[in-house]
Amino acid sequence: MTRETLDRKIEEILAEVILLGSMVEQATLNAIKALNSLDQKEARKVYKGDTPINEKRFELEERTVMTIATQQPMARDIRVLTSILEVITELERMGDYAKGIGRINLNIGRDSKLQPPPELLRMAEIGVDMLHQALQAFVAGDAQSARKIPPLDDQVDELFKQVLRGILDSMASDPSAIDEYNHLLWAAHNLERLADRVTNICERTIYIDTGKLLELDASDDEQN
């Protein structure tokens, strides 16, 4: 295989990684918007929409493994291709978080009087924006941009703390709804974990560029 052909195959796979990422981004926002209004119909769509995400992930895994096995990639190519395998796994797990929020919505039920905290939508928006930036940096091989993304997770963590405090107060004042409040807490936890997984994508971008797999920290541009 020529260098040009291998480059084209990698570019095609990366374009599909962006598509998978957009599916996860939309699923996350749809899941939270449905939860905010306790929209059961939309929650079911999100829940069922996890299947195409899984299928896309497995399709990309197969294409990537086949490229590694048959096209004799060089060292940097191998870093890119193995990182793609890691990133699509992260994306599939993020899709599971959206599916989980859909299931939480269904478990709460449309007749509930519960009012989901507004911070959940903001958590989702920040997490999705982080994911979008991280995937753009990954595809571009832009380690400098990737380093700037993990600190945004501090905002998600602070919102999670606000949700936790509010839910604990609500549980104390209305013990009869503890199960429903627990559902909301799990939704917030899913969003917090999504933002954490974005950092893993940033780490892979830096690995491609430097050959070193660093553990990034939201509070440190160099180091999660």
Structure-token match 């571009």, residue found: 140
pTM across the whole model: 0.91
Per-residue model confidence as pLDDT tens digits over 158-181: 999 999 999 999 999 888 889 889
> Which CATH number is 3-210 given?
1.20.58.220
Q: What is the 3-state secondary structure (H, E, C) of the chain?
A: CCHHHHHHHHHHHHHHHHHHHHHHHHHHHHHHHHHHCCCHHHHHHHHHCHHHHHHHHHHHHHHHHHHHHHCCCCHHHHHHHHHHHHHHHHHHHHHHHHHHHHHHHHHHCCCCCCCCCCHHHHHHHHHHHHHHHHHHHHHHCCHHHHHHCHHHHHHHHHHHHHHHHHHHHHHHHCHHHHHHHHHHHHHHHHHHHHHHHHHHHHHHHHHHHHCCCCCCECCECCCC
Query: pLDDT for 1-14, tens place per residue?
Result: 567 788 899 999 99
Query: pLDDT value at position 70?
Result: 85
| Share above pLDDT 90 across residues of the chain, in percent, rounded to a whole number | 78
Between 131 and 212, name the one with better pLDDT: 131
Domain ranges of the chain: 3-210
